[in-house]
Chains A and B, each alone.
Chain A
Amino acid sequence: MNARFEPLSAQSRLSLRARVAAATGHGPRWLFGAERQLQLDEALAGTVLPQASIMHDKIVVLRFASQLANALALLELDGIASQIVLCPPDVQGAMLAQICTQARADFVVSDGAMADEAGLEATIVELAADFTARLAPTLPAIDTKWLLLTSGTTGAPKLVAHSLPGLTGAIISQGADFDIVWATFYDTRRYGGLQMLLRALLAGGSMVFSQAEEPVGAFLTRLARHGVTHLAGTPSHWRRALMSAEIKSLKPRYLRLSGEIADQSVLNALRAAFPDVPVGHAYASTEAGVGFEVTDGLEGFPASFLERVGPVEMRVQNGTLRIRSQRTASHYIGAGALADDEGFVDTGDLVEARGGRYYFLGRASGIINVGGLKVHPEEIEAVLNGVAGVQLSRVKARKSPITGAIVVAEIVAADPASAGPALKATILAAAQAALPAYKVPALIQFVAQLPMTRGGKLERAHA
């Protein structure tokens, strides 16, 4: 491997807390949750809890209901724990137990969010919902690995390891601009949202956190109240926000899209809603890190990006975009290699060159992206195929201007005469009982047969 792509040395490692402390002192900075708010200075102060030294050099899973509390825990544990695992709110029950096993977790730290503790091999540490205190201020800083969840090809979440220098590699100091108020529609436990949190902490400014199940109108109202200036989300988030009257109350200075293909219509709609505000769409993924940002208001990216010299190198091979940089994840936990021999990570995103520009076509693997949530056709087919009266099913994506894609199903009925509204209702009910809403086929169509490959596999149209 080229020496330039060796990880930064552990000696150069400063903890997140130390880096945030270095960026404060220029005026009040706030963390705004739906339930409480506190000044960053308060978060950096505090007293030592008895839990202090026990997490030193240990593997700690963060399972918080509150994103604000999770951010405080990150400030506490980076540099203390050997590994921290960030869990979005949907991680609970059996999935949490599985992640603890996979990560070989010593502790699960929570703010009362633990619903089902069955099967957990780690020690659970419950913090008060309003905790601000420091856990372990005096221990020597170590090079904490940050583990983030992604979706693997089997549908089970995979853990990918990042370093703090890699996660923050794309963050450029905004100078002394501490008037910035950041917010994101994403959850800050996922890669895209975490990028925004780290920007807020390290590049100056304050941060407003979203809350699970919060209606978009209520979130936008809070954003307006806190004077949000920098706002990020997926194209699906933005389409939804654009349908809300409250968006008119925002006075942003910068808008950002990432996590899904930003098509021209959503870029144009944002420009129409905020004519003078710069709109950037970024390419980033949990595995490949932050790749690049496009600021010319057009979908896709200039082909010249492939020729650029800098911290991120890009190439297109077999139709998919590949990225090499220090911002990519270092490895999967307990799974296969992440990068090829030359250090390039295959993003799995198909691109096509047209007229000096590359355009995204979709996922190479056939994973369906419904509003930023990944759906594996095989998992849904397994449910549908289990319904009495269904002989075979095929699940595929249908392009949607609202959520990017929706899930549709083709069904071969066991008895052709039974293909009708009653069987359709049975299939829908079974899918709704077994799957979250975004995986339930939005449209169900009966077909006489489904094509097979020569190998006897269901033929799939790759995106």
Chain B
Amino acid sequence: MDVKQTVADCIEQVAKAQNKVIPAISDQLVLLESGLDSLCFAIVVATLEDELGVDPFATSEDVHFPVTFLDFVRLYERAL
């Protein structure tokens, strides 16, 4: 399973459902500048928990909050 693709697809789907326009997803995309708000991220994390079976924010007490898309993907890759 390609975690990066799964995460990217999820972000795009949530953005669409929430009527947010986001730029093309790249490794260096800064999440907070992507046009997604906290609520969108909360939905992305919940959706990914259902799809991948992990919530890296809840399972570790020492999460470093991700700045870029790549940071975000790595959180999931490490948790899986």
Query: Residues of A at under 8 Å CB distance from B?
Result: 215-217, 236, 239-240, 242-245, 264-265, 268-269, 272, 370-371, 398-403, 406, 408, 428, 432, 437-438, 442-443
Q: Please encode chain B, from 48 to 70, with 1 for each CB lying within 8 Å of some chain A CB and 0 for all others.
A: 00100001011011111111000
Answer whether residue B17 sits at the interface, using C-beta atoms and an 8 A cutoff.
yes
- Partner of B61 from the list A268, A402, A442 (CB cut-off 8 Å) is A268
Task: Please give, as numbers and ranges, the residues of chain B lying within 8 Å of A400 by CB-CB distance.
Answer: 42, 45-46
Across the interface, do B47 and A243 meet the contact criterion of CB distance under 8 Å? no
Q: Name the 3 nearest CB pairs between A and B, nearest first.
A: A401-B57, A242-B65, A402-B42
In the complex, the answer to whether B32 meets A428 with C-beta atoms within 8 Å is: no
Complex Cα spacing A437 to B17, Å: 11
Assembly CA distance A437 to B40 (angstroms): 10
* B65 engages A243 (CB within 8 Å): yes
A268 touching B32, Cβ below 8 Å: no
Is B5 in contact with chain A by the CB < 8 A criterion?
no
**Complex CA–CA separation, A243 to B67 (angstroms):** 5
Could you say which residues of chain A place their CB within 8 Å of the CB of B39?
Answer: 370-371, 403, 406, 437-438, 442
Contacts of A242 in B (CB 8 A): 65
The chain A residue with its CB closest to the CB of B65 is: A242
**B residues near A216, Cβ cutoff 8 Å:** 32
Candidates A240, A244, A272, A406; contact of B46 at CB < 8 Å: A406
A217–B38 CB distance below 8 A: no
Which residue on chain A has the smallest CB distance to residue B43? A442
How far apart sit A408 and B46, CA to CA, in the bound complex (Å)?
10
Question: A398–B30 Cα gap in the complex (Å)?
Answer: 26
- In the complex with contacts A240-B32, A244-B32, A406-B62 CB distance below 8 A: no
CA distance A244 to B19 in the complex (A): 22
Specify which chain B residues have a CB less than 8 angstroms from the CB of A239 in the assembled complex.
38, 65
Q: In whole angstroms, what is the CA distance A437 to B14 when docked?
A: 13
Q: In the assembly, what is the distance between CA of A243 and CA of B72, in Å?
A: 10
A217 and B57 form a contact (CB under 8 A): no
- Please state if B31 and A437 are interface contacts (CB–CB under 8 Å): no
10 A-B pairs besides A245-B30, A268-B61, A268-B62 with CB distance below 8 A are A239-B38, A240-B32, A265-B60, A370-B39, A400-B42, A400-B45, A401-B45, A402-B41, A406-B46, A437-B18
Given A265-B60, A432-B19, does the pair A398, B65 have CB atoms closer than 8 Å?
Answer: no
User: What B residues does A244 contact at CB under 8 A?
Assistant: 32, 67
Closest A-chain residue to B45, C-beta based?
A402
Known contacts: A401-B55, A402-B38, A406-B43. The answer to whether A269 contacts B17 by CB under 8 A is no
Closest Cβ–Cβ distance, residue A394 to chain B (whole Å): 17
- Give me the interface of B with A, judged by CB distance under 8 Å: 17-19, 30-33, 37-39, 41-43, 45-47, 50, 55, 57-58, 60-67
- Min CB gap B20→A, angstroms: 10
Docked CA distance A236–B67 (Å): 16
Contacts of B66 in A (CB 8 A): 243
| A176 CB, nearest partner CB in chain B, Å | 37
Question: How far apart are the CA atoms of A243 and B64 in the complex, in Å?
Answer: 9
With most chain B CB atoms within 10 A of its CB, the pick from A236, A401, A403 is A401
State the CA gap A432–B31 with chains docked (Å): 23
A contact residues around B47 at 8 Å (CB) = 443
- Contact status B45-A371, CB under 8 Å: no
Taking a contact as CB atoms under 8 Å apart, the answer to whether A272 and B64 are in contact is: yes
CB distance from A297 to the nearest CB of B (A): 12
Bound form: Cα–Cα A236–B38 in Å: 8
Contact present for A443 and B46 (CB under 8 Å): yes
| CA of A438 to CA of B17, assembled, Å | 13
CA distance A244 to B66 in the complex (A): 8
Most chain B beta-carbon contacts within 10 A, residue among A370, A398, A403:
A403
Q: B46 → chain A, closest Cβ, in Å?
A: 6
Chain A residues, CB < 8 A from B33: 217
Complex CA gap A269/B38 in Å reads 17
When the two chains form their complex, are residues B64 and A402 in contact, meaning their CB atoms are under 8 A apart?
A: no
Q: Closest residue to B47 on the A side, CB-wise? A: A443
Chain B residues within an 8 Å CB radius of A243: 31-32, 41, 65-67
How far, in whole Å, are A268 and B43 apart by their CA atoms in the complex? 23
**A385–B36 alpha-carbon span in the complex (Å):** 28
The interface residues of chain A lying within 8 Å CB-to-CB of B32 are: 215-217, 240, 243-244
Q: Please give, as numbers and ranges, the residues of chain A lying within 8 Å of B62 by CB-CB distance.
A: 265, 268-269, 272
Q: In the complex, what distance in Å separates the CA atom of A62 from the CA atom of B62?
A: 43
Kindly list chain A residues whose C-beta atoms are within 8 Å of the C-beta of B37. 437
